[in-house]
Chains A and B, each alone.
Chain A
C-alpha cells in the first residue's frame, strides 16, 4: 500500500446544532478547497451514516482526518464504524481552547471569530495532511 499517492480524506461532523459544527465544516472546506485541494478529498458524513458503499470504500482505503464539533465525536465514530483508519482527529473545542481570542458565533453564518477559528484549525489540519501525504511541509506528526 502506498499511502503517499493517495489523497487524505477529510471528514467534518458538520453538526447543525451549535456553532462548533459549522467551524468543523468551514475548516474542512478551507483545507480541501483552498489549502490542499490536490492532496485531500472531502467526504460527506451523511453518506457514511447511510452506509453508501462507494463512500465506505473511499474511507476504508485511505488515511482519514476527522474534525469533530463536540465530544460525541460523530465524524470519528462514523469513520471507524465504516472501517476507516482515523490518522488524526481534531476537536473544535480543543482548537477553541488554544485560540480563545476567537469567539465563534452563528451556525448558518459564522461570525468573524468563527471564520478565524476555522482558519486556525484548517492550518493545523493542513500540517497533518502534509505529513500524511508526504509533501514535506508537515509541522507535526500524525
Chain B
C-alpha cells in the first residue's frame, strides 16, 4: 500500500442506545478523540457506511480502524467489515472488563460511577491500540483537549472532501470517465504524492496511478483503460497547476 498521508487511526463506536455499555463506547471514543489522541484519530458515524457515500464507505480502507463495541453482537466491528473494510483492531467493553471489580455498569443514558470508570479503562485501551497502529511509543501522555463542539449552521455548498457529520475528511475528487462523473477516493492525496515524488505526466505514470487508485476504489476490469485515460488527463492538469510559479 502506498504511503499516503493517512497517518491517523479511525475510531468507530457502536454507541448502542439500549445498553449502558453502548454509552461506554461512545464516551470512551470521545475521550480518545477529544483528549487522549486528538491529533492521531478521526471518527465517523457507523450508519454512514450505508446512509453516506463512497467517501464514507472507504473509511476503513483509508484509515486503520479500531472498532469499539459494547456487547458481543459487535455491531461496529461487523458492520465496518461488511460495508467498509476490516478493522485493524477491535475492543468489546464486556470482554475488556471481565474480572474487573468495577461493579454493575448502569445508565444507558447517564452512566453511574462504574460506567464512567469503564469508559476510562476502555479509552485507555483504545489509545494504546492507536499507538500500536501508528508505531508510536506506548503510554504517551495526553495530547491536548479539544474545545467542545459548538452549534453552527451547516454549510450549503458541496464540500471538497467527503466529510461526514463527524468531519472524517477523506479527500475525494470527481473525474469524468466514459462521459459520466465518478468520485474517486483519495485521489487528491495520490496526485500530491506523485507530484512530490517528481513523477511527470505520461503513460507510465498513468499506469502507476491506476494501480494506486484501485487500492481505494472499485474499478471494473472492462473500464480500466477509460479510468487510466481519465487519470492521465486529470494528473496532467494537476501537475500543470503545481508547476505554475506563484
Contacts and interface: CB of A to CB of B under 8 A. Distances in A.
Interface stretch (A100-108, A120-128, A132-140): A100-108
B103 interface: no
Given A44-B75, A72-B48, 12 more contacts: A14-B15, A15-B166, A16-B30, A18-B166, A42-B18, A44-B18, A46-B76, A49-B79, A78-B47, A103-B150, A105-B150, A108-B31
Interface residues of A, number: 45
Interface string B17-57: 11100100011011100100000000111111111100000
A102 to B, nearest CB: 9
Contacts of B241: none
A19 B154 contact: no
B75 A46 contact: yes
B148 A111 contact: yes
Contacts of A13: 45, 47
A14 B17 contact: yes
Contacts of A81: 50-51
A47 B73 contact: yes
Contacts of B26: 14, 16, 108
Given A17-B167, A52-B73, A104-B151, A44 B17 contact: yes
A90 interface: no
B216 to A, nearest CB: 21
B16 interface: yes
A16 B50 contact: no
A142 interface: no
Interface of B: 13-19, 22, 26-27, 29-31, 34, 43-52, 73, 75-76, 78-79, 82-83, 108-109, 148-151, 153-154, 164-168
Contact of B22 (A17, A44, A77, A78): A44
Given A50-B79, A71-B154, A111-B148, A29 B47 contact: no
B151 A25 contact: no
B43 A17 contact: yes
Contacts of A49: 46-47, 49-50, 75, 79, 83
A74 B166 contact: no
Contacts of A71: 154
A65 interface: no
B164 A17 contact: yes
Given A17-B164, A18-B165, A46-B16, A78 B149 contact: no
A46 B148 contact: no
A35 interface: no
Contacts of B34: 107-108
Given A16-B30, A25-B17, A75 B47 contact: yes
A84 interface: no
B139 to A, nearest CB: 23
A22 B241 CA distance: 42
Q: Which of A17, A19, A29, A46 has the most chain B CB atoms closer than 10 A to its own CB?
A: A46
B165 A70 contact: yes
Q: Which of B22, B31, B109 has the most chain A CB atoms closer than 10 A to its own CB?
A: B109
B166 A16 contact: yes
Nearest to B166: A17
B48 A19 contact: no
B165 A78 contact: no
A45 B61 CA distance: 23
